[in-house]
Structure 1
Amino acid sequence: MLLHIKNMVCDRCILIVRQQLENLNFKVKDISLGKVDIDHEPTEEQVQTIASALQVLGFELIDKQKDQLVEQIKTKVIELVHYSDLNSVHQSLMTLIAEQLHKEYTYLSRLFSDTEGITIEKYIIQQKIEKVKELIQYGELNLNEIAFKMGYSSSAHLSTQFKSVTGQSPSQYKTAAGHQRKPLDRVN
C-alpha cells in the first residue's frame, strides 16, 4: 500500500516517518521523499492513527490525486535544488520535472499555481534562494562559486534575484545578525 506524505523534505524526515510507522507496527517496504510503501493496506481506523501520528510530527497524509501530484512537484524541486549540482543540469528545472513526472508542463504549472497560489518557477527561485542562504552561511564558497553551483549565469544575476526575494544583497545577508532561513517545507 503506497502512502503519500506531505512535508517530507530530507533524509531525517524519511528516518522519522519510518520510525513512526514501525512504532505503529507497519512494515515499511520502501520509503522516499513523499512516499512510503507499507506491507499491507491499513483499515480506515489505522489510516486515522497514521495520520494523527504523522501530524504531530508536522507531516500530513495526502489522499487526493492532484494534491499528491503537487507534493511530487515540490519533492522534485527540493531534490534538484538542494541535493544536486544545478550547474550540471542542462535544461530548465521545470522541463526536467515534467519529464520525470510524465506530465505536460502546462498542466503541472496550472495545477501548482491553483493549489499553492504561486507559480512553480517562483517556488523554484525561493528554494534556490534558501539553498544560497545556506551556502552563504557555511562560508566555504564565494559568491561566484555559489552562482556557478546553483546554475546562475553570473553572480550579478544571483545577487539581483537574491535581493528581489529577501530584500537584502548576499553581502548584507552574510553580515546581518540572525540569519533568517526558512524550513524547506515552509518555503512558498
Structure 2
Amino acid sequence: MKLYIKYMVSLRCKMIVKEALEKLGLHDTALDLGLVEILEEITPEQRQRLKETLGRSGLELLDDKKSILIDKIKTVIIEMIHYSEELPTVNYSDYISEKLDYDYTYLSNIFSEVKGITIQHFIIMHKIEKVKELLLYDEMNLSEISYKLHYSSVSHLSNQFKKITGLSPSFFKKLRQKRTANLEDL
C-alpha cells in the first residue's frame, strides 16, 4: 500500500516516518521523498494515529488525489533541482510529464489551481534557492552556477535572482560575508 506524505523532503523526514511506522507495527518496503510503501493494509485507526504522529513533526499524510498529485509534482521538482548532480537537458515540462506519466498541461492546470502559482514559477523559486546555497558555499562563481543550473546567461540568472529576492547575487553574497565578519567580532 502506498502512502503519500507532504513536506517529506529530507533524510531526517524519512527517519521520522520510519520511526512512526515502526511504532504502529507497520513495515515499509520503500521509503522515498513524499512516498512510503508498506506491506500491510492500514486500518483507519492506524491511519489516524500516523496522521497525528506525523503532524507533530510538521509532516502531513495526504488523502485527496489532487493534493497527492501536487505533492508528487513538488517532489519531482525538488529532487531535480536540489538532489541531482545535473539538471535534465530536456525541457522541464517534458521531464515532469515523463516522471509522473501525466500530460503536462493537466499537471500545470491542477498545480496552478491548487497552489496559486505556476509550475514554472515554483521551479524558478527553487532554482534561486539553489543559487543562494551555491553562493553561500563560495565554491563556484556566478558563471559556473549559471552553467550548472542551465541559465542562458549570467545576466538571465542575475535578473531572476533580483526579481525573486530583491537583491543582486553579488550583494546577497556581500551581505552574507558582512554578517559572518560581524559575528566573528563578537
TM-score for the superposition, normalised by structure 1: 0.90
Question: What is residue 6 of structure 1 aligned with on the other side?
Answer: 6
Change (3 A) 1:158 1:86: farther
Amino acid at match of 1:76: V
- Once the two structures are superposed, residues 118-158 of structure 1 have per-residue CA deviations (whole angstroms, 9 ceiling, x without a partner) of 00000000010011111001001111111111111111111
TM-score for the superposition, normalised by structure 2: 0.91
- Once the two structures are superposed, residues 31-84 of structure 1 have per-residue CA deviations (whole angstroms, 9 ceiling, x without a partner) of 111111112112111111000000111110111111111100000000101112
Amino acid at match of 2:37: D
Q: Which stretches in structure 2 are left out of the alignment for 5+ residues?
A: 181-186
Question: What is residue 23 of structure 2 aligned with on the other side?
Answer: 23
Instruction: Indicate if the aligned counterparts of 1:136 and 1:174 stay in contact, CA closer than 8 A.
Output: yes
Deviation at 1:162, TM superposition (A): 0.3
Instruction: Indicate if the aligned counterparts of 1:85 and 1:150 stay in contact, CA closer than 8 A.
Output: no
Instruction: Indicate if the aligned counterparts of 1:66 and 1:111 stay in contact, CA closer than 8 A.
Output: yes
Question: What is residue 92 of structure 2 aligned with on the other side?
Answer: 93
In structure 2, C-alpha distance between the alignment counterparts of 1:22 and 1:156, rounded to whole Å: 50
Amino acid at match of 2:29: K
Aligned length: 178
Q: Secondary structure at the match of 2:152?
A: coil
In structure 2, C-alpha distance between the alignment counterparts of 1:20 and 1:47, rounded to whole Å: 11
Q: Secondary structure at the match of 1:151?
A: coil
Amino acid at match of 2:62: I
RMSD, aligned α-carbons: 1.4
In structure 2, C-alpha distance between the alignment counterparts of 1:155 and 1:83, rounded to whole Å: 22
Instruction: Answer yes or no: is 1:64 the counterpart of 2:33.
Output: no
Moved over 6 A (4+): none
In structure 1, C-alpha distance between the alignment counterparts of 2:50 and 2:119, rounded to whole Å: 30
Give the number of the structure whose alpha-carbon radius of gyration is greater: 2
